[in-house]
Amino acid sequence: MKNKKIIFLLTNRKHSGVLKRVESFIDTNYEIEIYGFDRGFGKDVRSLKGIPVNDLGIVENGKSYFSKIINAHSIFKNIFKENSKNTIYYVFSFDFAFICLLNRKKYVYEIRDLVYGYFSSNFIVNIFKFFDKILIHFSLLTVVLSEGFVDFLYKTNSNSNLIVQPNKLHYFFKDKSRARPNFDSKTKITFGFIGIFRFPNTILRFARIVGENFPNYEFLFFGDGDPSQKDKIVDIANKYKNISYKGSFKNPHDLKDIYKEIDVSLSCYDNDFINVRYAEPNKLYESIYFFVPIIASENTFLGQKVSKSKVGFVINSSSDKEIMYFINELTFCKINQIKRNMIKYLPDDMIDDRAFAIKECISNNG
């Protein structure tokens, strides 16, 4: 018999990482309901293992942050009324956690991104940071996907209701055989970006430099994004013959074939943003698992991990000169050495454990 009810409130009901977390709770001793907004991009998912993913409507790009909160609060009020006070709400954003706190609901707060980390004002960031600590304090449990977020918020983790659950590879790969690395030495290096299109200052800059200066190399884009970002990808792919947009993909099922097509994975996001400086993207674990070296931006938590573990390269991705120098110096000898470094990491180091720690903590605190 199901002994607890958990309602998942999704900022984007098409986000593969969020859906992975929800799916990990299905077929366990929980009654599950799923509600989410549509951000306008990504593969549409109507249900997870027979459980409907209820659509709460489209979130318009460019709409003010506070108007989005007011809209979500109005919608969630109806969901709150229909459920008992013992229902647990699993939320993936600052604003949704804030709504649950205002309505005195039990909630689990998963921090996948520091959304306020994209604001330019340090004063505003510090205000949000103050309230974020309050949200963490009153949560049943707070899950962070990066140790860097803990460093940003507290310096050290002394909170009993806060756990770090790295954003690892989907457990879909748990029973899959991991291919051995291919130590090719070709004349053409293929770079790839995989995921949601953002950060034109770094990602598009890198692609443009490949297009303009390295016609014998190739750059492939895999993924999706809001129309304004997607249009930029399509434009640069149309402009240069050695740049291609491969379209959206199904995660995790298409990842193996995608990583076969590239030699180096680009994950050098714009470190002008606080969120980027402290995040630990899932691309780190994907790259190691598929033996594809990763490129990270300097002065980031990801860059520190890449450098320490010797699984990729760390560059100044905001400088044309530095990118040019990096590509000119890159060889398959260097790429293959990174692949050899990756061999020591076992699949269990990269694959999600289906969040057993999270479920146990909810059971203990709920």
What is the mean pLDDT for each group of 10 consecutive residues in the chain (366 residues)? 81 88 85 89 80 87 69 92 94 95 96 89 93 95 94 80 90 89 89 92 97 98 89 96 95 94 96 93 96 97 96 97 98 96 94 73 71
Asked if 198 and 129 sit in the same domain, the reply is no
Which residues have a Cβ under 8 Å from the Cβ of 42 and sit 6 or more positions away?
Answer: 12, 14, 15, 16, 224, 248
CA 159 to chain centre: 24
Does some domain include residue 180?
no
* Domain-located, residue 177: no
State the DSSP string of 173-231.
Answer: GTTSPPPPP-----S--EEEEEEE---IIIIIHHHHHHHHH-TTSEEEEEEE--HHHHH
CB 76 within 8 A of CB 10: no
**Residue 199 within a domain:** yes
Whether residues 46 and 157 fall in one domain: yes
Looking at residue 60, what DSSP letter applies? P
pLDDT at residue 45, as a whole number: 81
Q: Are residues 328 and 361 in the same domain?
A: no
Question: Which amino acid is present at 13?
Answer: R
Q: Are residues 329 and 359 in the same domain?
A: no
Residue 179 domain flag: no
Please give the Cα distance from 122 to 103 (Å, whole number).
29
Do residue 13 and residue 156 come from a single domain?
Answer: yes
Cis peptide before 166 (omega within 30 of 0): no
- Residue 201: what pLDDT? 93
Beta-strand runs (E) in the chain: 5-10, 31-38, 47-48, 51-58, 88-91, 106-111, 141-144, 162-164, 190-196, 218-224, 243-245, 264-267, 294-297, 312-315
User: Do 206 and 157 fall within a single domain?
Assistant: no
pLDDT given for residue 119 in this prediction: 86
Separation CA 230–CA 227 (nearest Å): 5
pLDDT at position 1 is: 39
Query: How much is the pLDDT for 293?
Result: 98
Is residue 172 a part of any domain in this protein? no
Domain interval for residue 84: 5-165+353-365
Instruction: Provide the sign of the torsion angle of the four alpha carbons 111, 280, 161, 128, taken in this order.
Output: negative
Q: CA–CA separation, 163 vs 357, rounded Å?
A: 8
Length of the chain: 366
How far apart CA 91 and CA 100 sit, in angstroms, is: 9
- The whole-angstrom separation of Cα 287 and Cα 266 is 10
User: Same domain for 290 and 274?
Assistant: yes
The label of the residue with tokens 């460093």 reads 151
Question: Does residue 70 share a domain with residue 17?
Answer: yes
CB under 8 Å to 230, separation ≥6 — which residues?
41, 197, 224
What residues contact residue 235 under an 8 Å CB cut-off, 6+ apart?
none
The CATH number for 72's domain is 3.40.50.2000
Q: How far apart are CA 107 and CA 105, in angstroms?
A: 6
Per-residue confidence (pLDDT) for residue 10, from 0 to 100: 94
In a domain, residue 176? The reply is no
pTM of the model: 0.89
